[in-house]
Amino acid sequence: MPGRDFHVRLTLAEVTFRIEVTDTRTERQPPTTPPFADSASESGRGLLLVSALADDWGVVPRRNAPGKTVWAELRVPASVSPCSSGPRRS
């Protein structure tokens, strides 16, 4: 749909994996805390999943353009991080 562009950015720095989803929609801002699960609802569970799985997350306005970025960070153990200097020895 025209005007509904989005951008996904994935970064790994040290032991933090960051996911960012940016879109141009300004009419629907996500809540700063996830809503309670409604077992009868067919949608609206995305932020509940993000909140349950991520170590930290948030929403920020898009820079220099309309829209917002929803981001989440997950800590990756250094022993499995591709940024680690190699296998650990005991």
Q: What is the DSSP string of 24-67?
A: ---S-PPPSSPPPP-TT-SS--HHHHHHHH-SEEEEEEPTTSSS
* pLDDT at res. 12: 93
* pLDDT at res. 53: 92
* pLDDT at res. 57: 93
Let me know the angle formed at the C-alpha of 36 by 47 and 19, rounded to the nearest 5 degrees. 10
* pLDDT at res. 10: 97
* pLDDT at res. 46: 82
Residue carrying the six token digits 């989005």: 6
* pLDDT at res. 3: 61
Tokens of 4: 């509904």
Contact 10, 17 (CB under 8 A): yes
Local confidence pLDDT in tens for the 90 residues of the chain: 556 788 999 999 989 999 999 988 877 677 666 666 677 777 667 888 888 899 999 988 888 888 899 999 999 987 765 555 555 544
CA atoms within 13 A on the CB side of 50: 22
